[in-house]
Amino acid sequence: MTPGDIREEIIDILESIAPDEDLSELQDAPNFRDQLELDSMDFLDIVMELRKRYRIQIPEEEYEQLASMQSTVAYLEPIMKDMAKAS
Amino acid sequence: MYDTIIIGAGMSGLAAGIRLAYYDRRVCILERHNTIGGLNSFYRLRGRDYDVGLHAVTNFTPKGEKKGPLARLLRQLRFRWDEFALAEQVGSTIAFPGVSLQFGNDFDLFRSEVHKQFPRQKDQFEKLISKIVDYDDLNQEIFDLSTRQVLAETIDDPLLIEMLLCPLMWYGNGREHDMDFGQFCIMFRSIFFEGFARPLAGVRLILKKLVRKFRGLGGELKLRSGVDKIHVQDGEAVSVVLESGEELLGRKVVSSAGWLETMRLCDDVSHVDSSQAGQLSFTESVSILDCPPRDLGVDRTIVFYNDSEKFHWQKPSGLSDVRTGVICSPNNFAYDPDDDAQAMLDGVVRITSLANHNSWSALSEQEYALEKLRCYDDVLESAVRFTPDFRNHIIDTDMFTPTTIRRYTGHDNGAVYGAPQKRLDGATHLKNLFICGTDQGFVGIIGAIVSGISVANQHLLRD
């Protein structure tokens, strides 16, 4: 998967967590938390969705890497670059 | 072998089940009755639908709001806001002799009512508001503070104190006389900051959504499957034995049966201190009218009434205590006027009163039937002092009592809000047994759902 694919996948995960949210204006640099008001329960969901969809295990001490779109894509790129996009 | 076995298909068990099934856990919900819902169930009688627990859904926040329990649970369970079809209240009242306070889903109305009726308490009331805003859910020490003490330190008009306590205790206090300050703050937010709403189809709509989602995700639901015991070995729950004798193996067990009720199921627990059970139970007097209640001037969504300056929140010594009560009309919500189902809705007035489980359960069948009629008349006689008299328009009635509530919930004493002592972390003496629902700490429909979600997140999904 390319960084663009990974970004798209994260958007898809965020859409499933917050179906009423308009994500078209989401910016990559600022924290998700500031833009979407996600709480710790929602962060757990991003982690769990990655595990469910791609069997990716993220250790608790690395959750902070998922703070923004930019940092999330950077963190996932080496892990996901050889994976195929889930349909 | 299940990853998790859940005891009870009420709101909390179903919510926990959805979380687990969504993340591909093998999960089974066991329900004693032939229908789901627990306290928030529904029934059909003489061709009409009745809700058991639901007056209104609390914690209402509008579509697009991201904060608060409703928004959170929708995200966690992957529902769109529209799916619960919530219609807002038209307005509610706290009625005491000679003074009443109106409130709705906009907090400013309640604030201005308090300022108008209690002009000398204006600053004190604002001070209380900031304490409630600052309250942090997670601090057990502050949670356990006495609300009466906090209120007495903040507000010096005793009548205002009683009028604030009345609706909040009615809608979510399992403790007699006083209330945990944490519970007070949670209830204050859920009723005054957020507010009331209801789906036109009642509680069954929400239950159906939950159960459909749970099953759609591969969750198993076994009805008519009462639990006889939780079998414990070496400090771990290893299986759940049904009343039929069938034994189900599970890695983890979560019970919404209540704290004492769950302890009694554990076969390693020899003594349970039943004196810790909740004492507060209710009767519900339901009147079906030949017209919409608002045609008779019964136009409030909910009226919390009390007939003296002092509000008594305690188990009655006799069968019931009708000095205080809650009058609710499911008709008085702002439903979509284009929804044809609205025309089909009977005029309904429901009135809740305090009741004593032991007194009701001691009656013979004949006495029970008679006392229900007598109590119904007393309740209405009391309530029409606070709402226009609708008694000439009643075409059918039903009433349920603490014994009914005990049957639906399985709670000792038919205690609607469970035991006074809450177990906020959901943990028990066994490392793989947890509790959720009423005795974990959150009450009401939204509270129960949030309880199931948070116990699932905290204890069942992190491995």
The more confident residue out of B43 and B178 is B178
Alpha carbon distance B360, B403 (integer Å) = 7
The predicted pLDDT at position B138 comes to 66
At B401, the pLDDT band (50, 70, 90 cuts) reads very high
Alpha carbon distance B345, B339 (integer Å) = 11
Share of chain B above pLDDT 90, in %: 87
Res B123 pLDDT > 90: yes
Q: Do B79 and A16 touch (CB under 8 A)?
A: no
For helices B181-188 and B147-154, give the axis angle rounded to 10 degrees.
Answer: 70
CB–CB of B290/B347 below 8 Å? yes
The predicted pLDDT at position B140 comes to 75
The shortest C-alpha distance from A81 to chain B (Å) reads 24
Nearest alpha-carbon partner for B251 in B460, B414, B17: B460
How is residue B180 annotated by DSSP? B
Mean pLDDT of B380-395: 98
Residues of A in contact with B449 (CB under 8 A): none
Q: Could you give the ipTM of this predicted complex?
A: 0.80
- Length of chain A in terms of residues written: 87
Res B105 pLDDT > 60: yes
Res B433 pLDDT > 80: yes
Rg value, chain B, Cα: 21
pLDDT, tens digit (0-9, with 9 covering 90-100), for B148-180: 999 999 999 999 999 999 999 999 999 999 999
Place of tokens 């919390």: B304
Please name the amino acid found at residue B179.
M
Q: Do B80 and A16 touch (CB under 8 A)?
A: no
Residues facing B198 on adjacent strands: B87
Alpha carbon distance B32, B16 (integer Å) = 17
3-class secondary-structure state, position B241: strand
User: Chain B residue closest to A34 (CA)?
Assistant: B66
* Best of A36, A45, A55, A63 to mutate (most B CBs within 10 Å, chain B): A45
Lowest mean pLDDT among B93-102, B244-253, B343-352: B343-352
Name the token pair of B175: 């403790």
User: Chain B residue closest to A20 (CA)?
Assistant: B80
User: Chain B residue closest to A57 (CA)?
Assistant: B463
Strand-pair category, B394-400 with B281-289: antiparallel
Q: Please name the member of A18, A41, A52 whose beta carbon is closest to the beta carbon of B457.
A: A41
Place of tokens 């919510």: B15
Mean pLDDT of B93-116: 98
Neighbours of B318 (CB within 10 A): 10
Alpha carbon distance B64, B48 (integer Å) = 35
Mean pLDDT of B26-46: 92
Res A38 pLDDT > 80: no
User: Chain B residue closest to A55 (CA)?
Assistant: B23
Res B67 pLDDT > 60: yes
DSSP assignment of A3-49 equals: HHHHHHHHHHHHHHH-TT---TT--SSSBHHHHH---HHHHHHHHHH
* Best of B18, B66, B451 to mutate (most A CBs within 10 Å, chain A): B66
The predicted pLDDT at position A87 comes to 56
CB–CB of B390/B287 below 8 Å? yes
Lowest mean pLDDT among A54-63, B11-20, B363-372: A54-63
3-state secondary structure B46-115: CCEEEECCCCCECCCCCCCCCCCHHHHHHHHHCCCHHHHCEEEECCEEEEECCEEEEECCCHHHHHHHHH
Strand-pair category, B433-435 with B247-255: parallel
Res B431 pLDDT > 70: yes
3-class secondary-structure state, position B281: strand
Res A40 pLDDT > 80: no
At B439, the pLDDT band (50, 70, 90 cuts) reads very high
Residues of B in contact with A21 (CB under 8 A): 66
Q: Do A20 and B72 touch (CB under 8 A)?
A: no
Res A86 pLDDT > 70: no
Contacts of A12 (CB under 8 A, 6+ apart): none
Degrees to nearest 5, angle at CA B84 with B331 and B342: 30
Mean pLDDT of B15-30: 97
The predicted pLDDT at position B462 comes to 80
Residues of A in contact with B75 (CB under 8 A): 17-19, 41-42, 45
Q: By a Cβ cutoff of 8 Å, what residues of chain B touch chain A?
A: 23-24, 63-64, 66-67, 72, 74-76, 78-81, 453-454, 457, 461
Mean pLDDT of chain B: 95
Res B26 pLDDT > 70: yes
pLDDT, tens digit (0-9, with 9 covering 90-100), for A10-35: 999 998 888 777 888 899 999 988 88
Please name the amino acid found at residue B462.
R
User: Chain A residue closest to B67 (CA)?
Assistant: A37
At B285, the pLDDT band (50, 70, 90 cuts) reads very high
Q: How many CA atoms lie within 13 A of B35 on its CB side?
A: 16
Contacts of B207 (CB under 8 A, 6+ apart): B11, B14, B36, B37, B40, B41, B42
Q: By a Cβ cutoff of 8 Å, what residues of chain A touch chain B?
A: 16-21, 36-37, 39, 41-42, 44-45, 48, 51-52
User: Chain B residue closest to A14 (CA)?
Assistant: B75
CB–CB of B308/B399 below 8 Å? no
Q: Do B80 and A17 touch (CB under 8 A)?
A: no
* Best of A12, A34, A48 to mutate (most B CBs within 10 Å, chain B): A48
CB–CB of B291/B388 below 8 Å? no
Nearest alpha-carbon partner for B131 in B109, B113, B153, B115: B153
The model carries a pTM of: 0.93
Q: Please name the member of B72, B81, B453 whose beta carbon is closest to the beta carbon of A20.
A: B81
Q: Do B75 and A42 touch (CB under 8 A)?
A: yes
